[in-house]
Amino acid sequence: MISVAIDGPAGAGKSTIARAAAEKLGFIYVDTGALYRAIGLNCIKNNVDINDPAKVAAILPDTEIRVVFFNGEQRVLLGGDDVSEEIRSEKASMTASVVSAIPEVRKFLLDLQRSFAKVNSVIMDGRDIGTVVLPNASVKIFLTASPQSRAERRVNQLREKGLEADYETILKDIMIRDENDTNRSIAPLKPAEDSVLLDTTKLTLQQSIESVISIIKEAAAL
Ligand code: DC
């Protein structure tokens, strides 16, 4: 079984790149950010004050999150409802960033994340996969890009879907999330010591996917 950890800041293209690489290699792709988003969404739905860690921790025992794979696509179920689309809103993103700094939330999701790598070859993306979730991963990649190019890509993504997108607002949100994710005391965003750093600022999507595949093939001797 091969496990690949891909960590990096918001908007670096991790999910698109990891999904494509997993498809090519026949691995399962696990998007761990979706789990934090589901916890955030659950707080929004239940009017839980996310700035009060004790209140967020208190509803965890009643939070039922399940992950299923349909045709290789990950779907996230919250209390039995498929929330895979709902968790993508900007509000859910910001909420996820706040709740992910709560130690009880991270602990709550740890075993679930590890369980995927026990029975499948996986590419798992997140912030702390190589450092905390899968410290013995076969391959660790830290994927990054400048905040400006990440914001630009996000704007294009939203516009392609016909959604409103303001570059300045998105850039500001990305910088706030970077700040939250990097400076929290628990499982902060940082490259694992044994990770390969890949900066995609000047790469096209196709070049980024090819780079990731060749890093995996080389490191895992495939
Ligand atoms: O990758 P994403 O944007 O969907 O992640 C949403 C939030 O969840 C992000 O602000 C950081 C957090 N997160 C985390 O703390 N650890 C992970 N392994 C994945 C995501």
For 148-161, how does the pLDDT look when each residue is reduced to its tens digit (9 = 90+)? 999 999 899 889 98
126 lines ligand 1 (CB under 6 A): yes
pLDDT at 187: 84
Nearest Cα residue to atom 10 of ligand 1: 97
The C-alpha atoms of residue 59 and residue 83 are separated, in whole angstroms, by 18
Token pair for 76 = 């996230």
Q: Which pLDDT belongs to residue 141?
A: 97
Q: Is the CB of 153 under 6 A from ligand 1?
A: no
Query: Is ligand 1 within 6 A of the CB of residue 181?
Result: yes
Q: Which of 74, 88, 91, 97 has most ligand 1 atoms within 8 Å of its beta carbon, as the pocket-test mutant?
A: 97
Q: In this predicted structure, what is the pLDDT of residue 71?
A: 80
Question: pLDDT-derived band of residue 192, with 50, 70 and 90 as boundaries?
Answer: very high
183 CB-contact burial (10 Å; exposed 0-12 / middle 13-18 / buried 19+):
exposed
Domain ranges of the chain: 3-216
- Cα 126 to middle of ligand 1, angstroms: 6
Hey, whose CA ends up nearest to atom 5 of ligand 1?
33
Query: What pTM did the predictor assign?
Result: 0.91
Question: Quick check: CB of 11 below 6 Å from ligand 1?
Answer: no
The overall longest dimension of the chain from CA atoms, in Å, is: 49
- Given a cut of 80, whether residue 222 has pLDDT beyond it is no
pLDDT tens string 73-128: 899 999 999 999 999 988 898 899 999 999 999 999 999 999 999 999 999 999 99
Q: pLDDT class for 164, splitting at 50, 70, 90?
A: confident
Instruction: Report how far residue 112's alpha carbon sits from residue 215's, in angstroms, rounded to the nearest whole number.
Output: 26
CATH code for residues 3-216: 3.40.50.300
Contact 153, 144 (CB under 8 A): no
